[in-house]
Structure 1
């Protein structure tokens, strides 16, 4: 059974492990650890709206959201490799859209590394549009946005 819930400080170690497992394959491609691998998840859980997808008692996915005025920044989304291909990523994105609609926000914004081309293709397929590209903290990023219309 799959359950979405707000993360607690006790989830931080499991979230950090999940993020390391999910993003490690990108290290050779981008030449360094992706930004989400550098975060302190105890701090992230304390400062952001962090949700986990728990499946059979394990943290199978994570979603990090930050409200920024009329939009929500989807700062991180990751699925544990052991749970890939089971629809958890799409369910997390749908949860994010519900979150935005419930708060009557204008849009969801996100960014991904420009070398994570499969992520860009997925977000585009799901209705996100590229707004710009920029280098931040040494990472070449693609910024995207999806409008959110109507109540949840």
Structure 2
């Protein structure tokens, strides 16, 4: 896969929103509502320096939203334009590398409790569940990985 990961650019906010909507649409029936990332403000994320994109052949193949927090780097969102091509793994590796580069001792993330395949994937990648809580009306599973 020939790719480049870079900070998202302001004019890309609509494309990021569309990528996320497409990537998360299949969860709407399962959750009974749109997942949180579908309602995020990508222009604000880009302005804050939190949005990163994986670019392939001039197109956007994936997105990451990363937030610095006192508890470690928070991987707030990850989305792939086309699942099953390894984009998610490339983005996960980048997030962990970026966390180390920023001096964090751990990386954190969360997912919806009904997104069981995500929980299994993150566990496989070395993340451990830290707790569960309702946040913003979503049943979330919080996970972390020491770096």
After TM superposition, the score normalised by the length of structure 2 is 0.96
Three-state SS of the structure 2 residue aligned to 1:104 is coil
- Residue in 2 aligned with 1:137? 136
1:70 to 1:140, Cα distance in 2 relative to 1, 3 A:
closer
Distance in structure 1 (CA, Å) of the matches to 2:56 and 2:124: 26
Measured against aligned partners, the alpha-carbon deviations of 1:1-48 in whole angstroms (never above 9, x if no partner) come to 311111111111110000000000000000000000011110111124
Unaligned stretches of 5+ residues in structure 1: none
- Unpaired stretches in structure 2, ≥5 consecutive residues: none
Q: Deviations over 1:59-99 (max 9, x none)?
A: 1100000000251010000001xx22111100000000110
Instruction: Report the CA distance between 1:139 and its aligned residue.
Output: 0.3
Give the match for residue 104 of structure 1: 103
Distance in 2 (CA, whole Å) between partners of 1:131 and 1:69 is 16
Partner residue, 1:69 = 70
Number of aligned residue pairs: give it.
146
CA distance in 2, matches of 1:95, 1:131: 22
Return structure 1 stretches of 4+ with deviation > 6 angstroms: none
- 1:101 positional shift: 1.1
Q: Secondary structure at the residue paired with 2:15?
A: helix
In the alignment, the residues of structure 1 paired with residue 31 and residue 68 of structure 2 have an alpha-carbon distance, to the nearest angstrom, of: 28
CA deviations on 1:115-142 (whole Å, 9 max, x unpaired) are 0000000000000000000001110000
Q: Secondary structure of the equivalent of 2:20?
A: helix
- RMSD (Å) for aligned C-alpha atoms: 0.9
Q: Secondary structure at the match of 1:18?
A: helix
Matches for 1:1-152 after TM superposition, within 5 Å: 1-80=2-81, 83-148=82-147
Which whole-Å CA distance do the structure 1 matches of 2:70 and 2:9 have between them? 24
Q: Distance in 2 between matches of 1:44 and 1:96?
A: 16
